[in-house]
Structures are given as C-alpha cells and as structure tokens.
Amino acid sequence: MKRVAFAVAGLALVVGVIVLRDTGGSDSTLPTAPPPPTKLKPYVAEQVLVPSPQSRPATPTGVVARGGHHKIQLNWAGDAPAYEVRWGERTKLVTRQGTQLNGLVNDREQQIEIRAVDSFGQRSQPARTTATPRADSAPYTFVDRFDAPDEPDLQRWRLAKRTDCARATSGDEDDHDRLIISSSCGTRAVTLRSRTPFVRSDDESRVVIETDAPSTGGKLLLDLVPGPVSVQGDPVPPNTIRATVSTDPSGNSVVELVPNGTAVKALPAALPGVTVRWEIVLTKDGTQLVRDGDVVATSPFVPQWHEATALFGFAALAGDRIRAGVDLIGYRTAKADAPPAVPTPQVRVDGPASVSSNPIANVTGGQLRIALIPSRESEPLTAVRINGVVVPLRPAVEGTPWKPGAEFPAVADLPKEAFTDNVNVQLVTEERIQVTHTDVELTGPTNPPQRQSGTPLVDAKPLLADPVPEVLDASGQPIENGAAFNRGRVVLEIRINALDSSVAGLAGFEIRLDGTHVATVPTTADGPAAAGRWRISLNTAAMTPGAHAVEVRAFSTDSDVHPETGYVPFLLKP
C-alpha cells in the first residue's frame, strides 16, 4: 500500500495514545440506540486533507495449499494490509499471508481465490488454486480426531480448570468438527487431561497434538507427568516432561523444554487460526520437541518411568481470553486404554454437611485429585475427610516439595461412602491451605458412551480491531512524550490492524476533533477493507492553547459488529 504524505508546518506532540474498546451491555429501562452505520459517506471539513485510493494492490503470489483432515491450509506472498479468501460461497478477511479453512468435507476439491485488499477496500485480481481435504491415515495406538457431534468424549477426557471460566466443547459453524477449548481464565492454564495413560514402548514413543494454539498472545503446555495429576502448575513435578510454547501479541514464539532442554531452531511467526502439529518424542537417547516435522528443542533427559499422564494446557497472556481449536491428539506408544468411566460427581470443599448425596450405581473404585498451596512452612497435609471419612492423602508424584506458595498435587483413594453424586472434601488441618483444584474419578464395570455438549465460551465471530491514532511531526515521527507543540498543520496517523484468524469488514471511520466532526473516510471501494494505515492533515492554527483530543471511531459493514474507538490527546503551545 502506498503511504500518503502531506506538507506539515510546525511540530506535533503525542502526549499519549489511549485505545478504548467498547464493551457493550444493555439496560432494558433505557431507550434502544440506533444500529451503527454500515455504509459511510465521505466528509471533509475545511483545513482537513484526507488520503484517497491510489492504484489497486498487486495480486498475491506463491500460493501454497495443503489439504488436511476437514481443512485446507493456505500460504502466499504479498504486502497488502489484508486479503480476501473465497471458497465456494464463503469468504473471509485476514490480515496475514496465510489462513486455514475448516469444516470442509474430506475428498471434495475446493476452488479457492485469494485477493489483496488495500486500506480503501480495493481488490486485486485473484490468485487461484485448488486443494482437497483428506483424512490423516498415520498409525496411532490411541487417537481422537474430535469430529463427533458432541465433544469431548468423557470416557477419554477431562477438562481441569480452577474456576468455572472455561469449556471444552464441539466447535460452532466452521469449527463443528474440532474440539474447542475456550477460556476467560487469564494466564492460568486450562488443562485437557487424557484418561488414557501414556505407556512408553521399548524404543521410540511420542504424543501428538494438532492445534492452532498458541495463537498470538498465548501459551501451549504439553506435559507427561509420572502420576495422577490433573492441572499444570509450578513448580513442574519431579521427572515430568513439559514443553511450553509461548507466543507474544505479534506472533513471535519461543519454546522451552524441561528438564534440561535446549532450543535448537527458531520458530516461524504464528499464523492465527492455523493448525500446527506438535510432538514430544521419547527415545533411548533423550527427549525432543517437534513442530511440523522439525526438531525445535532437545533434552538429554531419559525418563525412568514407564507410564505417565498426558496433559494439554491452554493459557492466555496478559489476562486475555482464548479460543483454541484442537484437530487431533494421539499416541504412538505401547497400547493402552482408558479405564471405564461412570458419571462425574460434584465436588465441594468444606461444603455444608446437610447437602444430600445419592449413590451412583456400578462404581468399583474412585480417586480424589486435589491441588494445594500452603501459606507458610508446615508439615505436609497427610489426610482429608471425604463424606465424613478420614482417608490418607499422598503426593501425586513422589518427591514433589511441600513449600509455601507452590502448588502441590495430591491424591486420595475414595471410601465407598464417597461413591455418590456429591462429594464433600474437608482438609484435616488447622493450617491455612489454599485448594486450587479438585476432581474425582469414579470407575465401574460398564462403559456407557458419554459426551460433553454445549457451546464455546468464546465466540468465533470476527470483530473489528481497535483504531490506533497517533500525531506525527513533519518527518512522520512521533513527537517525544510530554512537550507541547506549536499551532499549525499536524499529521494524524490512524492504524487498524488485527492478529485474528479472521476480521470483520471495515466500512470506514469518523474523526472528531474536540468533539467536532471533521472527517469521514469510507473504506469500501470494491468491498470492505479489513486493516490499513491512513494519514490525515489537520490544521490546529485557530485552536486555543492547551489540551485537545482526537477521537477516531471505526465502523463495520456488519451491523452486528460493535464499532471500535481510539483516542489521542495532545497539547498546543500558547
């Protein structure tokens, strides 16, 4: 995209850039606001200069299409701020040179067109390709492709979360044949636990996950724990293998492999919504972390254990929300099966004793899994009371330290009195100990099919990105924070960009100076834009000295998408 420059007299100062996201909400007692506009008419006040569309963007080149199970991955080259991808009667807008099409029928060829989209909505000529989704035929001793109508299968999986802030469900719309982990738990990992044990074979063993996590600004944790642990905390339990993939908001990723791991290859930038295949590989010589067939980290650690619990963790960075798609989890190990499962009871910690509990039929055994954090130096907790019966409590992994501020995973065998739909747990101690997680496993001779229905907590609907305005000097550089500038012409730069798997169509934006409407810039020349950078020339010569502010409000072509607003204050010299 060409950048439009203006002659600028005087200096400009950015005192600070404040971006505000409207959060919505409603009150039935208030009048209903009119829907936001989806079409904008151009408007320019006196002494304001706005850019106009230039030549159309170049057609994307170097398109590569790869078919997978119910999906097609696409990559291409180009320098446009956004791209439109069309397949069948579907379209999506993306802001990176790659995307993934989900929810496709295997063995049905797809005709695909990719167009570059500039900041005014102008389209290039299309780059065309074809691809066919195909099922994965790789051999596994255990595998789940999560393409049943209701997921997950509770015979195979449990979702561990410290509060009711996350869900594991079938996806909606194009994600209908994937498992979706959605969470508003912030930086604490939500853990998908396999009930099927990971049993090492004599030579090479591996656990595989295909997922689009971590997206931009998130973490993916892969654990093999030699004990009955349900959550992923710190410190890592002894003799546990943990691979952590962390991605910053710009898509830059780093990996960590413990114990004693070394990163051996830099990771490519993450593409939002695109599935990556991660593998932990155990050999006679050590441990490897593999990304899409490339070894990215190694460790000399060779575990002495024969069996482990496989945990898959998903976390956001900086308290954001996450929505992660999982296409496959599998083992290439010795053969193992999940134990028969019966309905999962409700667990209460220090709940009222008066709550009634009803027996669950066909239960042959049970186990309490609990995570504790002691508040001070004390003797380890060695017993808990479960439905009124005191039972021993032991470390889930031998050698785990009991120390203040550290999460301690523990386990207790359930008495028969706890084979009920409500299980009350009480700590047998006078010490202050925080319980961060509990779950109960009941097993029985029957194996009825159990599925988890529901909808994801985090919606997949594309949204607008926040507009980020900034005041620049004559050379196009931001002014040092804190200094007032002379009155005259200044340049307002507006940036709209998003790192999402798809974004809502941008109809354009309005600019207000101290509350006065000074410009409207439509961005729908051939269709909606999605991202871009614009430079607006403003005349501040007639304005009074002191503090002023610019407000930029962006609108979508979809009336259901909420407008987004950005602000920038500035100071004028006397």
For 402-431, what is each residue's pLDDT tens digit? 999 999 999 999 999 999 999 999 999 999
Q: What residues contact 293, with CB distance under 8 A and at least 6 apart?
A: 277
Residue 353 confidence (pLDDT): 62
Phi and psi, residue 61, nearest 5°: -125, 170
Q: How much is the mean pLDDT over the chain?
A: 89
CA within 13 Å, CB half, 477: 4
Measured CA distances, 447 to 146, 147, 330, 408, 419 (Å): 19, 20, 21, 32, 17
CA–CA gap between residue 538 and residue 513 (Å, rounded): 9
Residue 164 confidence (pLDDT): 81
The string of pLDDT tens digits covering residues 92-118 is: 999 999 999 999 999 999 999 999 999
String of b and e for 63-87 (b: at least 16 CB within 10 Å)? bebebbbbbbbbbbebebbbbbbeb
Mean pLDDT of 541-550: 92
Q: In the structure, what pLDDT confidence band is assigned to residue 217 with cuts at 50, 70 and 90?
A: confident
Q: Six-digit token pair at 320?
A: 């954001």
Please, where are the H alpha helices in 38-81?
A: none
The string of pLDDT tens digits covering residues 450-495 is: 777 788 988 888 999 899 999 987 677 787 776 788 888 889 999 9
CB burial class (10 A; 0-12, 13-18, 19+) of residue 198?
buried
Mean pLDDT of 279-285: 97
Give the strand pairing for 98-101 and 142-144: unpaired
**Percent helix, strand and coil across the chain, each rounded to 5?**
0, 45, 55
% residues pLDDT > 70 (the chain): 91
386-400, 446-460, 541-555: least confident range: 446-460
Which 3 state secondary structure label does DSSP give 175? helix
DSSP string, 503-533: BPPEEEEEEEETTEEEEEEE--SSS-B--EE
Which 3 state secondary structure label does DSSP give 416? helix
- pLDDT greater than 60 at residue 5: no
Measured CA distances, 500 to 31, 155, 250, 315, 323 (Å): 33, 33, 11, 16, 11
Q: What is the model's pTM? A: 0.89
Q: In the structure, what pLDDT confidence band is assigned to residue 28 with cuts at 50, 70 and 90?
A: very low
% residues pLDDT > 90 (the chain): 72
String of b and e for 2-23 (b: at least 16 CB within 10 Å)? eebebebebbbbbbeeeeeeee
CA–CA gap between residue 129 and residue 62 (Å, rounded): 10
Strand arrangement of the beta sheet that strand 433-443 belongs to: 394-395, 408-413, 365-374, 433-443
The residues with which 64 forms a beta bridge, in sequence order, are 75
CA–CA gap between residue 567 and residue 558 (Å, rounded): 23
Q: What Rg, from alpha-carbon coordinates, does the chain have?
A: 28
CB burial class (10 A; 0-12, 13-18, 19+) of residue 181?
buried
Top-ranked range on mean pLDDT: pick from 132-146, 168-182, 290-304: 290-304
Residue 31 confidence (pLDDT): 62
DSSP annotation of 482 reads: T
- pLDDT greater than 60 at residue 326: yes
Q: What residues contact 203, with CB distance under 8 A and at least 6 apart?
A: 283, 284
CA–CA gap between residue 58 and residue 69 (Å, rounded): 32
